[in-house]
Chain A
Amino acid sequence: MSLVQNFPFFSIILSMFCAIVSFALSGKWAKRAHLAMTAAVLALSAGVLGFTAATGDSYTYMMGHYSAPWGNEIRIGPLESAMAVCFSLLMLLSVLGGLAHIDRDIAPSKQNLFFIQLDLMLSALLALIYTNDLFTAYVFIEICTIAACGLIMARRTGRVYVSATRYMIMSLVGSGLFLIGLSLLYAVTGQLLMSPAERALAGLVSDSRFTLPLTVIIILLVVSLGVKSGLYPFHTWIPDAYGYATPAASAVLSGLVSKGYILLLIKLMVRVLPNDNQAALNMMDVLFVLGVVGMLLGSVDAIRENDVRRMTAFSSVAQIGYIYMGLGLGTDAGVTAALFHVISHGAMKALLFLCIPGLTEVSGGRADREALRGAGYRHRLAGLGFTVGALSMIGMPLLTGFVSKYLFAAAATSAVPGKMIAAWVALAVSTTLNAVYFMRMVLVLYTSVDASHRRAEDYHASPVENAGIAGLIALNVALGVASPPVIETLARGLAVFG
């Protein structure tokens, strides 16, 4: 086994070790440790991506001396390593882009605790990406849930406690359902490693034993991860949780955390759960319908919202709907489109959430459309970033959002006719609705105002934050212009994912 094959394990352990050490560090050093660690994880993941893209195959890595099905195991392929690269890159840019606000929003004595949550969040996301073991997945879901609560409430103002509590309740319902589903799965298969569990499940399906428990397992696992990632009827925690946390936390939560659960769901659907029985097919249809409903109603909610932060948060509901619609198409092309949108939405949403505080701070701290008039002149980079993010969301060519929408539309052609028509109509209507609220916001930002409102007095943008925003703008453009290699890597990774 070559050294580079150890890198996924190194990156998980490194982020956990960084969290442990940060407990004894001051906030300043915890911040440096976090940034250095994220950069190191990015470099390690890039190495793994290079290796797996060259071999084009996946390999398993034993966590200990015992092979599957006795010991823990992680599995690494092109798809997993590509996701690890994207997640660490987005984490790095989101934290850089929100660094000055972390300093301002969080008490100095508690900043090291905030960075611990971020470190463990990254380790949990990496573990969810790489794991080939169902129970490891559950343990890291727990870490992810607690870290997300910590990130939301780190700001310690009245409103975030309510948001964190709501998030916690919904998220724990998801965790509980997932654990019950996992226990049932263990009871009917006796396996916790994914590949042996899949073989056992396939045997059960062909012998048609335990048919009812199998259906319930599929429902529980899919619904629990749907609740945790904010699928449409379970989305009520999203606007508060994303709207009031510190910007870096909002960017990480909307861009990465819900995506970690979606990736795990894709992994379960492709690698573990039987694909060809009636329950799984019906579940696909349910996901498709909920995804389409989410796409439309999330946007309608966003249109009705006057607060730009909450509007952007509601738009996440719609975007999560896109991903589930792609999964619900039930074709490989649909899953590839969903995977691309996972990355693409992370890049767009992180950019929007990082630009919003810059815009509101030059508008007297208010986030409504009235106050934001002309804010694009007062903070040019944030205005530009918001515009790029908004155009990308709508699906302007040369930006990453366009590629996602194109992939969804193309994937729909190979689906059954009913789904194809529904997906196209939903894409068209949802794009129009996206345009309504995002273009309205961009127009508000660049409404001409008199000269006295064109300059923000005593506002100094932090250069580090500007670097983060600039990096995310570049990422949006890069993903939009140079998407073919990314899509090809994802498609090839998906082929060896199962």
Chain B
Amino acid sequence: MSREDPRYAGSRWDKLARWRRGEYDPTAGRLELREPDFAPRDELQKLRKYAAQTERDDRYELGLDTRLRGFRRVYLAAAGLLAVFLAALLLVTVSWLPQFGDYTAPEHNEVARRYIEQGLEETGAVNIVAGMILDYRAFDTFGESCVLFIAVCCVLMLLRVDKEEDPHSMAAEDMSDRYFEPHREVILQMAARVLVPVSLVLGIYVVLNGHISPGGGFSGGAIIGTGLVLYLTAFGFERTGRFMNETTVKLLTVSALTFYCFAKSYSFYTGANHLSSFITPGVPGAILSGGLIVYLNICVGVVVACTMYCFYVMFRKGGF
């Protein structure tokens, strides 16, 4: 468009040129940046500093209690000394331990040898770690799943806002969450459309393939949980609640842990009483092999995903 064109004045190019010359301000009247006029800046800073100081004094009463202030100094110094001492002690201790990869180290004994040499044959798991945690030492792993479970229970007890307990705060939480919830976050939603299916499928793959390749219930469940949290962030509670709500989380957690409990109880009982068990290792490398390991991995994955999702929901809103 030439400058002689009558349509030039007021067009985008004209505005751009005038903005470059400093004659035009595109934000004028729409967006204003100015100093707050109620107090000059240094006054305001002084005020803030004073408020912070009084708050600190109020909390610890340090301004008034010189004994307490002295105690705090001594306490901090003692804590620092203790930490330095402990760190030095542990470093010196570690320097006594065998080097990494040393083949004469005590941990290269009959325990590790059997895991490595006979693990595949006995558990049917190509991934030796899966065989160790879900077959040789499955009781510990059941305990670990229960750690996650009890952590969820504690977070629910601490953060869940219940209707019968406090109807007002429930409504307030809901309001504030709706206010901050992105309704038309196009970038986030577009990214989520691409990433959520990928992370869910990857997570399911890592869980199902846990006995064949590196991975398993804990890592796969974490990936699935991340996918769910991303979906929730992008599309909000209303859409996510259709498939992930309190009932689903409860149902999934309870059934996964119950299955783990019964399956392993059967295995412990037959093992301890030297009974024959119908669970066989199967063909190593096949997707349905490794005895119970693949099913236990699914259970652990479900529990981990539900735990992550539940934590996010509780910390964000205190309800599903």
Contacts and interface: CB of A to CB of B under 8 A. Distances in A.
B136 A66 contact: yes
B267 A64 contact: yes
Contacts of B142: 16
Interface in A185-222: 186-191, 200, 210, 212-213, 216
A61 interface: yes
Interface stretch (B18-26, B33-41, B46-54, B90-98): B90-98
Chain A binding surface, main DSSP class? helix
Nearest to A150: B154
Contacts of A6: 269, 272-273
Contact of A139 (B96, B144, B269): B144
Contacts of A66: 122, 135-136, 271
Given A70-B114, A109-B164, A191-B111, A143 B143 contact: yes
A127 B140 CA distance: 11
A113 B157 contact: yes
B93 A146 contact: no
A153 B93 contact: no
B108 interface: yes
B97 A64 contact: no
Nearest to A190: B107
B140 A72 contact: yes
Contact of B272 (A19, A61, A139): A61
A332 B266 CA distance: 39
Contacts of B265: 13
Contacts of A61: 272
Most buried by A among B106, B143, B271, B277: B143
Contacts of B154: 113, 117, 146, 149-150, 153
Contacts of B268: 9, 13, 62-64
Nearest to A110: B157
Given A113-B153, A190-B106, A135 B162 contact: no
A186 B149 CA distance: 28
Contact of B97 (A9, A136, A184): A184
A146 B158 contact: no
A109 B269 contact: no
A154 B89 CA distance: 38
Contact of A23 (B106, B114, B135, B254): B254
A6 B268 CA distance: 10
B111 A70 contact: yes
A64 B93 contact: no
Interface string A1-17: 10000100100010011
* Interface of B, helix, strand, loop or mixed by DSSP: helix
A176 to B, nearest CB: 10
A61 B135 CA distance: 16
B105 interface: yes
Interface in B106-122: 106-112, 114-115, 122
A110 B314 CA distance: 14
Contact of B157 (A64, A114, A133): A114
Interface in B292-306: none
B151 A127 contact: no
Given A6-B269, A9-B268, A143-B147, A187 B106 contact: yes
A146 B147 contact: yes
A191 B113 CA distance: 12
Contact of B106 (A117, A136, A200): A200
Interface in A242-300: none
A421 interface: no
A142 interface: yes
B261 interface: yes
A64 B275 CA distance: 11
B150 A150 contact: yes
B151 to A, nearest CB: 6
A416 interface: no
A19 B149 contact: yes
Given A20-B149, A150-B150, A113 B250 contact: no
B164 A180 contact: no
Contacts of A70: 111, 114-115, 136
Given A63-B272, A146-B151, 7 more contacts: A9-B272, A16-B261, A107-B162, A117-B154, A150-B154, A153-B154, A212-B92
27 contacts: A17-B258, A17-B261, A23-B149, A24-B251, A62-B268, A62-B271, A63-B271, A64-B136, A65-B267, A107-B162, A108-B164, A109-B160, A113-B154, A117-B150, A120-B150, A139-B147, A146-B151, A146-B154, A147-B150, A150-B154, A153-B158, A187-B97, A187-B107, A188-B97, A190-B111, A210-B97, A213-B93
Interface of B: 89-90, 92-93, 96-98, 105-112, 114-115, 122, 135-140, 142-144, 146-147, 149-151, 153-154, 156-158, 160, 162, 164-165, 250-251, 253-254, 257-258, 261, 264-265, 267-274, 277
